[in-house]
């Protein structure tokens, strides 16, 4: 039996948040701030001794901490760096505290189950530093024996905490957890947007976390192949139903589809899987999984559990089949066992009933919808993703010399721009595009229409995809702006992310409309899509996909008429072509299974 021990939690919230442009501890993640989210995770995990180290703007944080019922510790030397906050927190610990969790407040969404896992692994008779690990990478919060920091250490200790803990590496251990949030910090505006998005899907595992569940439970490859196809089919139906007016959660559907058979082979495998997921902190997903074999579904609407049930009945092993074909074998197999045959018949009727309700919303047969997407579903289940083709509009009619700020000036394409658009249209002719998006500025919409025309796909113009607004500077040459607005021109050069020219946007402002628009596009579409953007807009999206800070966005080149290709998986983006040309397309396609594309190296 484990010897009782006293474990505290130190949450660090004393720094300047200088890279963020906003004060991180009090930044909102919806209902709660980062500091509230970080501290309450420990309380929910059963760690009652939680202490928040404050410093910069402490008077604003202390009332929030007081309302949580936890202690705050003042670090008067917060300007000396994070290690000074660690030492201030450790100094507050009583002699009988065996160990402590250490968590920067911007790593705010750690699963309480992760904290419980580390706590249960801690042995006071053999104290070790315990690091949570996901996908082979260590994250936060480590659980550290207090004795390792009891000595009188200076705040300018060479190398800080990392070097100090590294000296105890011989007495450290890693604990694999199903929690991608241990890796998510918040150092840039794009990090913050990602954190807000992640908070909105609390309790629903990411694609990577689903993979970790499969790995931990040793789920077979055959079950995984079946589950991926079920998830993809359910998502296709959900997107169509949402377009018809329903509000179904795509992340919940994808996770439940991927994990619905994790207990396959066990008695009542649906219930067993639901209990496993609830124990991991995924009760919402478990509630859907629990209903995927038998379902009591009535009324005119359709929910997430209905879709998983229906999709599961339309997939046999890793093949799409009709309901009739799926149940024909079972009916024949149990022809001489009326009790079991009656249950099978009941499941068939339930699936058929759900299918009729889906058709009532969509106004067309389910088989027609599935048939339209069958090819891309099969390809997506093989490649694990779909393609986002992102181009910059063609060259525009604007004085070439001197160089000018264009921003949201509505300029048409010039002859070269039209030629670039035609070249892109020819290159993408054999690619299946399910949707095309552009801004409402002429240069973007004209480029999009030229590319989309052979695909018979309407272009969807969006005002939130416009180029960054440059206010009074638009139409002025660089030299004119430097002369008329010298201070503002240099201020923008010093802080390209946060500086806002007169009557204009900063790149941070622009990102706060572009990233939500991009995410909405991803969540509302199926198959491969095309986005015709602008240099600034594309750089913002690509910065996120590449996990680069906005401060570096001008390191991403975006020439007129360039082509970028991003592989989109349910919770991941991978850039496979950056600022490329049509001549690069063949090489990229030959290395990938492109959903909906007759690869020259394949078929």
- Catalogue the active-site residues: 393, 467
Which tokens go with 129?
Answer: 């530093």
Q: Where in 192-334 does DSSP place strands (E)?
A: 315-316, 319-320
Which tokens hold the place of 71?
């202690």
- Phi, psi (degrees; rounded to nearest 5) at 302: -135, 135
Separation between Cα atoms, residue 309 and residue 293, nearest integer Å: 7
What values do phi and psi take at 598, rounded to 5? -75, 85
How far apart, in whole angstroms, are the C-alpha atoms of residue 563 and residue 569? Answer: 19
CA distance 229 to 55: 51
Q: How many angstroms from the chain centroid is the CA of residue 561?
A: 28
Task: Please state, in angstroms and rounded to a whole number, the distance separating the CA atoms of residues 564 and 577.
Answer: 5
Residue 603 in contact with residue 593, Cβ under 8 Å? no
SS3 127: coil
Helix (H, G, I), strand (E, B) or coil at 391: strand
Q: How many helices (H) and strands (E) does the chain have?
A: 22, 16
* Whole-angstrom distance, CA of residue 584 vs CA of residue 330: 50
What's the N-to-C CA distance of the chain in angstroms? 61
Structure-token match 């394409």, residue found: 413
The two three-digit tokens of residue 176, written as one number: 């694999």
- β-sheet bridge partners, residue 531: 390, 437
Angle, vertex CA 353, rays to CA 349 and CA 357, nearest 5:
170
Three-class secondary structure of residue 577 per DSSP: strand
Would you call the peptide bond into 141 cis, given omega within 30 degrees of 0 as the criterion?
yes
CA distance 315 to 327: 11
Q: Residue 207: how many CB atoms within 10 A of its CB?
A: 20
Residues in the chain: 603
Q: Per-residue DSSP letters for 148-201?
A: GG-S---TT-TTHHHHHHHTTGGGEEEEE-S-GGGG----SHHHHHHHHHHHHT
Contacts of 391 (CB under 8 A, 6+ apart): 424, 447, 451, 530, 531, 532, 533, 561, 562, 563, 564
Angle at 172 between CA 102 and CA 180, to 5 degrees: 55
d(CA 61, CA 293): 49
- Residue 401 CB partners (closer than 8 Å, separation 6+): none
Six token digits for residue 422: 């035609």
Angstrom distance (rounded) from CA 114 to CA 546:
27
Of 134, 299, 274, nearest to 207 by C-alpha is: 134
């Amino acid at each position: 039996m484990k010897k009782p021990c006293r474990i505290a939690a130190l949450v660090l919230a004393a720094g300047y948040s200088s890279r963020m442009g906003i004060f991180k501890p009090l930044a909102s993640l919806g209902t709660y701030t980062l500091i509230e989210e970080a501290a309450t995770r420990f309380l929910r995990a059963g760690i009652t001794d939680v202490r928040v180290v404050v410093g910069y703007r402490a008077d604003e944080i202390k009332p929030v901490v007081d309302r949580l019922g936890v202690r705050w510790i003042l670090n008067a030397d917060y300007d000396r760096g994070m290690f000074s906050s660690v030492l201030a927190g450790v100094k507050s610990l009583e002699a009988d505290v065996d160990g402590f969790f250490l968590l920067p407040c911007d790593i705010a969404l750690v699963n309480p189950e992760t904290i419980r896992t580390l706590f249960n692994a801690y042995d006071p008779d053999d104290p070790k530093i315990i690091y949570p690990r996901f996908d082979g990478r260590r994250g936060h919060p480590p659980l550290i024996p207090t004795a390792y920091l009891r000595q009188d250490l200076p705040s300018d200790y060479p190398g800080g905490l990392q070097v100090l803990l590294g000296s105890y590496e011989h007495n450290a251990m890693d604990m694999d957890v199903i929690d991608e949030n241990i890796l998510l910090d918040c150092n840039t505006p794009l990090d913050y947007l990602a954190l807000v998005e992640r908070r909105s899907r609390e309790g629903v595992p990411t694609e990577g976390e689903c993979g970790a569940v499969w790995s931990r439970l040793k789920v077979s490859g055959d079950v995984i192949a079946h589950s991926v196809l079920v998830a993809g089919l359910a998502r296709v139906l959900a997107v169509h139903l949402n377009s018809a007016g329903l509000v179904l959660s795509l992340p919940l559907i994808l996770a439940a589809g991927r994990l619905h058979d994790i207990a396959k082979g066990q008695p009542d495998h649906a219930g067993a899987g639901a209990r496993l997921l609830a124990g991991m902190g995924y009760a919402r997903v478990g509630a859907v999984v629990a209903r995927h074999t038998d379902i009591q579904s009535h009324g005119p609407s359709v929910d997430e559990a209905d879709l998983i049930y229906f999709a599961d009945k339309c997939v046999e092993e890793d093949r799409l089949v009709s309901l009739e074909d799926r149940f024909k074998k079972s009916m024949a197999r149990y022809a001489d066992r009326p009790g079991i045959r009656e249950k099978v018949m009941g499941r068939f009727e339930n699936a058929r009933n759900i299918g009729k309700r889906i058709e009532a919303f969509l106004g067309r047969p389910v088989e027609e919808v599935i048939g339209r997407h069958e090819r891309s579903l099969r390809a997506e289940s093989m490649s694990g993703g779909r393609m986002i083709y992102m181009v910059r509009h063609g060259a525009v009619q604007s004085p070439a010399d001197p160089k000018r700020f264009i921003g949201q000036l509505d300029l048409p394409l010039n002859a070269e721009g039209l030629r670039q658009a035609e070249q892109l249209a020819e290159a993408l002719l054999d690619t299946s595009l399910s949707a095309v998006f552009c801004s409402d500025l002429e240069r973007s919409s004209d480029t999009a229409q030229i590319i989309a025309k052979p695909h018979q796909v309407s272009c969807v113009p969006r005002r939130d995809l416009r180029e960054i607004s440059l206010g009074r500077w638009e139409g002025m040459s660089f030299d004119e702006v430097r002369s008329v607005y010298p201070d503002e021109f240099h201020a923008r050069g010093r802080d390209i992310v946060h500086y806002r020219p007169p009557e204009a946007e900063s790149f941070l402002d622009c990102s706060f409309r572009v990233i939500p628009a991009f995410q909405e596009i991803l969540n509302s579409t199926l198959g491969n899509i095309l986005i015709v953007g602008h240099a600034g807009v594309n750089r913002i999206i690509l910065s996120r996909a590449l996990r680069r800070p906005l401060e570096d966005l001008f390191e991403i080149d975006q020439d007129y008429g360039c082509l970028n290709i991003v592989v989109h998986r349910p919770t991941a983006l991978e850039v496979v072509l950056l600022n490329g040309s049509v001549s690069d397309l063949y090489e990229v396609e030959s290395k990938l299974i492109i959903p909906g594309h007759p690869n020259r190296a394949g078929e």
